[in-house]
Amino acid sequence: MPLKHSFPPVAAPDARLLVLGSLPGDRSLAAQRYYAHPQNQFWQLMSPVVGCDLTVLDYDDRLAALRVARVALWDVIGSARRAGSTDAAIADIEGNDLPALIATLPDLRAIGFNGSTALKYGRKLLGPDFADAQIVALPSSSPLHTVGLAAKLPAWTALAGFLDDRD
């Protein structure tokens, strides 16, 4: 199985929300873009969170809109072997250094995990030091998670509450 690597994080120091996926799929790796598969619902799900339609923007503008909204983006898995794009096929996992990234985000309020694989491995990487962190388990945006967009939307839309200006 080929060794696949995640992308660098998209994060500004003022981020209030960190959204973590598992590992980019083959379409994303080929395009060198987060959530590049046309059937992945990530950009649709994040649009109401950040208050603009991310689906109509080009990729760089999507990332800029996330930064402006104070959302950071990364993956739990730094590298792994995997045939195809399914999380079930992931093996030989090396995690990303999540604690190091989080240490650079002093305004962080919550960590959202995009799908059960991201949650499972992310919790292990964070360990007991982050037991009190606001963790949000999100239904996967992947086209392989066949629950419809309408069923996924409430959990994702709730992330907007971590971005408001309360302090």
Both tokens of 43, joined, read 């950009």
Nearest CA to 66 out of 95, 45, 38 is that of 45
Q: Are 81 and 4 in contact (CB under 8 A)?
A: yes
Q: Are 105 and 71 in contact (CB under 8 A)?
A: no
**Has 96 been annotated as catalytic?**
no
Q: Is 16 helix (H, G, I), strand (E, B) or coil?
A: coil
Nearest CA to 163 out of 60, 8, 55, 14 is that of 14
Residue type, 126: L
Residue type, 29: L
Catalytic residue among 22, 40, 114, 141: 40
Enzyme catalytic residues: 40
